Amino acid sequence: MLRTDISNALEMWAPLTGAEDFDNVGWLYQSTAQNVTGLLVCHDALEEVIEEAHQKKCEMVVCYHPILFNGLKRIDQTDYVSRAIQKAITYNISIYAMHTALDKVIGGVSDLMANKLGLIEVSFLLPDGDKSGMGRIGFLREAINSETFLKKVKETFKTPVIRHSNFKNNTIRKVAVLGGSGAFAIEEALRQNADAYVTGDLKYHDFFKPQGELLLTDVGHFESERFTKNAIAKYLQEKFSNFAVNLSEINTNPVGYYPYGEE
């Protein structure tokens, strides 16, 4: 199969024109191999993931996060980005990234979050036209107290710990979600009268912003996007049923928790 057949199919779902201006999506490296017999879907195209693709005889890697994000001035063995790109060149493996192109579309990152939490009447938190936008906002089928909600979020995103803000009201029904770093949408979640907002990468001062009017929950960057690579793989498997679509077995979350697994 031509590798462009795969990228064309991905862009039917998540057009690159919808990505944020700061982002680096699409082809990060195109090898000399125009035809591919297998591909590997991953979260981060790290060195060990490229090695995994090579071992599984995949000539292409589809990643969520772009391994090349800022400008790369030199390639050497001291930098993890350089090592990954160098290995891709050595093994002649192409790399394609989706990131914010997938964040905005129906069935993308925030939709996955909303679906896993069981939200109904879901709409865009920050619309960008009729069929795309950042984040989602919807309702739980039944109102629950904040402690029950936090337990639900912890179980859903499989995070060892949730950082959260103070919350005056103990009832959660309307919930906003946004995968990855979502501090920029706190004000919009407040404006739309959400009871809770699930996202990642919140800073200390972000937790003051709701002033008790919104339960902010930081589940972790990776954890908020944990369903993404499976969704990409499923989409490609449905598009190309007779083609080898492999799901990476490597957990690329760079954040550890200590003591892990203890209450």
Per-residue pLDDT tens over the stretch 150-185? 999 999 999 999 999 999 888 999 999 999 999 999
Q: Residue 74 has what pLDDT? A: 78
Task: Report the Cα 251 to chain-centroid distance in Å.
Answer: 13
CA-based max dimension of the chain: 59
Domains annotated for the chain, with CATH where assigned, are 3-102 (3.40.1390.30), 106-224 (3.40.1390.30)
Q: Residue 142 has what pLDDT? A: 97
DSSP-assigned letter for residue 211: T
> Do 39 and 62 form a contact (C-beta atoms < 8 A)?
yes
> Do 75 and 86 form a contact (C-beta atoms < 8 A)?
yes
pTM: 0.94
Consecutive 10-residue averages of pLDDT for the chain (263 residues):
96 96 95 93 98 98 94 80 95 97 96 98 94 96 97 97 93 98 98 98 97 97 97 97 96 90 54
DSSP-assigned letter for residue 35: B
Q: Residue 261 has what pLDDT? A: 58
State the Cα torsion 41-44-50-55 to the nearest 10°.
-50
Write down the mean pLDDT value for the chain: 95
Q: Residue 136 has what pLDDT? A: 98
Q: String of b and e for 92-113 (b: at least 16 CB within 10 Å)?
A: ebbbbbbbbbbbbbeebbbbbb
> Do 178 and 138 form a contact (C-beta atoms < 8 A)?
no
